[in-house]
Amino acid sequence: MAYLFTSESVSEGHPDKVADQISDALIDNFLAFDPNSKVACETLVTTGQVVLAGEVKSNIYLDVQKIARDVINRIGYTKGEYQFDGNSCGVLSAIHEQSDDINRGVDRASKEEQGAGDQGMMFGYATKETEDYMPLALDLSHKILQELATLRREAKEIPYLRPDSKSQVTIEYDDDNTPIRIDSIVVSTQHDDFNKDEEAMLAKIKSDIIHILIPRVKGQLKPEIQKLFNDKIKYHINPTGKFVIGGPHGDTGLTGRKIIVDTYGGKGAHGGGAFSGKDPSKVDRSAAYATRHIAKNLVAAGVCDEVLIQVSYAIGVVEPMGIFVDTYGTSKVNMTNGEIAKKVSEIFDMRPAAIEERLKLRQPMYSETAAYGHMGRKNEVVSKTFYTPDQKSKTLDVELFTWEKLDYLDKVKKAFNL
């Protein structure tokens, strides 16, 4: 029997994502000047106020207030009428030194023997459903908001957009887990109060989203995905009415509250640990990236059509507690899931230091991850410039989303005789 599956995304202007982006900007700036920095920082944003808290071990001093303000302005909160803007909001820092009790379990004389920065389990997932090996509903939800942000910055076709927005896509699948059609699309976007006639204003917003935004998103997709769009899609555009008050003024934001948006939109599983604000010694982040890297390479190599990878750690312990694999019955090799897991442990070194080295995680590469998902993104090299409080600059070439590389295909195919 056909079934429905839904995923959501939130924009860079969503209050929780504002918090994530500030936390990850701090990570990037610390790593740019001291790649060995240990950082765990949380951000809270609300009306006219930013609170920074956390623990840091680094040899660099940063102007964290300026970093936070720059992020807020880049997102688009630049007007006093938003009740939250980068130039006038208060920024309170409660960042302090990292506990030696934690650090001694992580740092070792030999970097290879570096212990895990925390206990817990992490999951990676991949599917052949899209060309970037991501679940389709989440992929479309992200693309809707990325294109909406582009329209907002262009300020031509839809000039009234404000930074805060959310999307949601529901897809109908057949019994073979193949997408049949898009059932519904939800878009809630913050906007200027541009018409005293609220009914006419909402009608204008709905028309613009359906007739301007959606065609632009559809035009980016492969023909087989475009076919899923149909004239029976149920659209819910700003379903509660006008959405003028938004962002941190409308809803307090916190780092790490959008972990399903950050990963697989509810497909697969999640270990519960957030990513943003954590340096790569925290396996919540690094091992989640490593398991995505494994999952994507397994599917791309033809081991299976869909796979979930779990790895678990104890704080301060070098080797993982175990690796679990579930191919959901889609395996193309004559092996059990347990046998596949054993092969995976032989191909991929899952010690924390090995993950950091393999995926180049000591780069200032994290700001780009903090909105529109950490997975399924484009692997590319970009140039980034960072500034000390006395305005000395440092420019680096940074490789982004290294866990999306299909650089282990040959090793995987050899190990599985493909």
Write the DSSP string, 161-183.
Answer: EEEEEEEEEEEEE-TTS-EEEEE
H-run or E-run covering 416:
none
Q: Which CATH number fits domain 120-128+282-415: 3.30.300.10, 3.90.1640.10, 2.40.160.20, 3.40.50.1820?
A: 3.30.300.10
Q: Is the pLDDT higher at 331 or at 109?
A: 331
**Which ranges constitute the DSSP H helices of 133-193?**
136-154
- The CA-atom distances, in angstroms, between 205 and each of 26, 160, 161, 163, 195 are 36, 9, 9, 15, 11
Three-state DSSP class for 101? helix
Beta-sheet pairing, 38-46 with 253-254: antiparallel
The pLDDT assigned to 116 comes to 77
The token pair that represents 181 in the structure block: 């059609």
115 pLDDT band (50/70/90 cuts)?
confident
Instruction: Please report, in range form, the residues annotated as the binding site for ATP.
Output: 14, 164-166, 242-243, 251, 257-258, 274, 278
354-368 residue pLDDT tens: 999 999 999 999 999
Average pLDDT score over residue span 207-229: 97
Inform me whether the pLDDT recorded for 58 exceeds 70: yes
**Cα–Cα–Cα angle for 390, 393, 398, rounded to 5 degrees:** 140
Query: What average pLDDT does this structure show over 227-246?
Result: 95
Mean pLDDT score, 83-108 = 78
- The pLDDT value given to residue 234: 98
Looking at the whole model, is its pTM more than 0.85? Answer: yes
Task: Tell me the binding residues for Mg(2+).
Answer: 16
* pLDDT value at 107 more than 70: no
Residues 37-55 have a mean pLDDT of 96
What is 3-8+136-245's CATH topology? Answer: GMP Synthetase; Chain A, domain 3 (3.30.300)
Q: Which residues are annotated as a binding site for K(+)?
A: 42
- Which residues contribute to the annotated binding site for L-methionine? 55, 98, 251, 282
CA–CA separation, 109 and 252 (whole Å): 42
Question: In which residue ranges of the chain is CATH 3.30.300.10 found?
Answer: 3-8+136-245, 120-128+282-415
The answer to whether 208 and 157 are in contact (CB under 8 A) is yes
- Known binding residues are 14, 16, 42, 55, 98, 164-166, 242-243, 251, 257-258, 274, 278, 282
Give all strands of the β-sheet with 120-127 in edge-to-edge order.
120-127, 306-313, 322-326
Please state, for a pLDDT cut of 90, what percent of the chain lies above it.
91
Q: In what order do the strands lie in the sheet with 3-10?
A: 3-10, 161-173, 179-191, 234-237
Q: What is the pLDDT of residues 276-294, one digit of tens each?
A: 999 999 999 999 999 999 9
